[in-house]
């Protein structure tokens, strides 16, 4: 699993990100697949959202599937791009814990890469996401983002 931090405002703990994603993928029984998670700043996320979704504002998470690629003999699920600054604001608006919000976004991205689509599935993805958020995998030890800078 590859974790890249391409933003500077919020400290990302790559080991904890890997641990969290590994636990979620085990829970979903897809641990034999490769994945990458990239953390970007707000400006870059706005560019990506405009380019790939035609929306001129930053979003908190995007998922990119690359078809039938493989990495080190494992099927490559794809890439999750997270904007921690946008996540922090979303957490503040919904009175959510920012750490929990970043975890939720990574989980959300994994579900999209597995083919779930909350816009057309009559709530199936949302129900699965809520169930997983109540489970042990969601509470993997270690902070994925530092509380300094993520409020």
- Domain assignment present for 147: no
Predicted confidence at residue 148, as pLDDT, reads 58
Q: Is 148 helix (H, G, I), strand (E, B) or coil?
A: coil
Work out the end-to-end distance of the chain between its first and last CA atoms, rounded to an integer number of angstroms: 27
- Domain assignment present for 67: yes
110's enclosing H/E stretch is: helix 98-113
114 pairs with which residues across the strands? none
User: What is the pLDDT of the chain when averaged over all its residues?
Assistant: 90
pTM for this prediction: 0.90
- Domain assignment present for 148: no
64 pairs with which residues across the strands? 79
Identify the DSSP state of 102.
Answer: H
Q: Is 88 exposed, middle or buried (0-12, 13-18, 19+ CB in 10 A)?
A: buried
pLDDT in tens, 36-54: 999 999 999 999 999 999 9
Predicted confidence at residue 147, as pLDDT, reads 55
pLDDT at 134 over 80: yes
pLDDT at 94 over 80: yes
Mean pLDDT of 77-86: 96
Number of domains in the chain: 1
Residue 101, φ and ψ in degrees, nearest 5: -65, -45
pLDDT in tens, 11-31: 999 999 999 999 999 999 987
Distance CA 99, CA 145 (A): 6
Mean pLDDT of 70-82: 90
Q: pLDDT tier at 59 (50, 70, 90 boundaries)?
A: very high
> Which has the higher per-residue pLDDT, 82 or 119?
82
Mean pLDDT of 68-97: 90
- Domain assignment present for 31: yes
pLDDT at 63 over 60: yes
> Which domain does 134 fall in, by range?
2-139
Residues across the chain: 151
- Domain assignment present for 64: yes
- Domain assignment present for 150: no
- Domain assignment present for 145: no
In this structure, what CATH number is given to the domain that contains residue 78?
A: 3.40.390.30
Asked if residue 83 lies in contact with residue 38, where contact means CB atoms within 8 angstroms, the answer is no
Distance CA 89, CA 123 (A): 25
Predicted confidence at residue 151, as pLDDT, reads 46
Predicted confidence at residue 110, as pLDDT, reads 95
């Amino acid at each position: 699993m590859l974790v890249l931090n391409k933003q500077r405002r919020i400290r990302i703990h790559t080991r904890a990100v890997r641990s969290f994603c590994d636990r979620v993928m085990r829970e979903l029984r897809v641990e034999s697949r490769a994945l990458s998670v990239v953390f970007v700043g707000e400006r870059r996320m706005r560019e990506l959202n405009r380019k790939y979704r035609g929306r001129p504002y930053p979003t908190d998470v995007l998922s990119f599937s690359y078809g039938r690629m493989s990495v080190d003999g494992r099927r490559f699920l794809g890439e999750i791009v997270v904007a921690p600054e946008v996540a922090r604001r979303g957490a503040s608006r919904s009175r959510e814990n920012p750490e929990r919000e970043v975890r939720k976004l990574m989980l959300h991205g994994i579900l999209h890469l597995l083919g779930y689509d909350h816009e057309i599935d009559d709530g199936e993805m949302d129900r699965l996401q809520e169930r997983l958020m109540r489970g042990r995998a969601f509470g993997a030890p270690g902070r994925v983002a530092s509380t300094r800078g993520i409020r």
